[in-house]
Amino acid sequence: MKVTVFGAGYVGLVQGAVLADVGHDVVCVDVDAAKIAALQAGHVPIHEPGLEPLVRANQAAGRLRFTASAAEGVAHGELLFLAVGTPPGEDGSADLQHVLAVARTIAAHMNAPRLIVNKSTVPVGTADKVTQAVREGLAARGARIAFEVVSNPEFLKEGAAVADCLRPDRIVVGTSSAQAEQQLRALYAPFNRNHDRMVVMDVRSAELTKYAANAMLAAKISFINEIAGLAERLGADIEAVRRGIGSDPRIGYHFIYPGAGYGGSCFPKDVKALIRTAQDAGYTPHVLQAVQQRNDAQRRVLFERIAAHYGGADQLTGKVIALWGLAFKPETDDMREAPSRALMEWLWQAGARVQAHDPAAMDEARRLYPEPLRGHPPGLTLCDSPLAALQGADVLAIVTEWKVFRVPDFARIAALLKDRAVFDGRNLYEPQQAARHGLTYVSIGRAAVRAASGERFREPARQPKEG
């Protein structure tokens, strides 16, 4: 089938490459001419396992092409995918300007019936807005051309997006049109052979399904972080608790790892957008608000523990903090809403410097923090290896659970750190193992361990402030 994908970003590029890989004829359109030129040259601008060879192979086979010409894209595709960004507005709502701009572009160039497939994460009712934008565009031309707008949200995990796209858990389709459903069944037939993965529903339910899925996963993360805070105060070990509850198949082990809070391009944005959608509908989303509040507080936990180690944030001036992990999760270079960025900002505000390493996100960090800003302040040195980040550092903070960090040389860490303390925001290590090497070890939801004796201790519970 002839497919055009508008938006050659994370979702659009993965979806386009995978559709091409099963034999469809795919054109990806993007307004960023530099990105298109790079893709045409075989350079993939994002870090995603398996994506670059997939793109290059299908380019070589002639099934995947890239263009900045919207007219070319509309003329090519019988199915037109919208996979453009929906960044959060100041009030938390999803900004639909890019989605609606593509809709108007389609209307301006469409000369034959088209199926418009909304892949972007959008609020309930967006398909109606896209339909109206296309109708108005066609009317302005005096054209009467049939089209349908369907919802087909993506459920990709960064770091495993190619695998998720090749072997989807479900393919959600929102439409009331039998013809549109059949077109999408034909498109996705190569992914639907083992059993029927398509879940067909009305458009608004499909739009809400995407937000509800992400909000549910975010809720699990905030829940386990809430219990982690309680475990610390009760002398329990959150890792034991996690295994205990995860063994219940009704709960499962996924997304119940305590840590430094969730980040990335989806969860923070989508939870805020769903809260705003509820408020606009006259409904108070108490649980969603609590999920966001818990995450906002969790993102500050690691900074507060580093500050407490030195007797307060005012004692951090001149300290050098080694930071392992910049991406919001492993196997990606995405630093959008990453906990590392929040931690660095607070450390800089307190007068500390940061020496950071990440296996994939170094170029992204250089883009976000250009050379003139990496002096002092803010004070950021990007290091070529984990050990290089420890050179001259006072303590180590771990924010991303990359595999390369999981089995470190503890003796070397202890030898390099001036103050021999590790603040682990992902619970990568056994506390006693770190203590045996002379390290003070502070993690999430577990009693900290002092370096000198291996003695476990609990930080005192904070007293509520007056007023």
Active site residues: 266
* DSSP bridge partners of 29: 6, 67
- Asked if residue 45 has a cis previous peptide bond (ω within 30° of 0), the answer is no
- Do 127 and 92 form a contact (C-beta atoms < 8 A)? no
Give CA 164 to chain center in angstroms.
15
- Using CA atoms, how far apart are residues 270 and 280, in angstroms rounded to an integer? 15
DSSP of 108-123: HH--S-EEEEE-S---
- Using CA atoms, how far apart are residues 281 and 302, in angstroms rounded to an integer? 36
Only one residue has tokens 């879940």, namely 199
Burial status of residue 419 (CB atoms within 10 A of its CB: 0-12, 13-18, 19 or more): middle
- Using CA atoms, how far apart are residues 176 and 404, in angstroms rounded to an integer? 48
Only one residue has tokens 């509850």, namely 245
429's CB contacts (< 8 A; 6+ apart) are 408, 422, 441, 443
Sheet holding 421-424, edge to edge: 380-382, 353-357, 320-324, 395-398, 421-424, 440-442, 448-449, 456-457
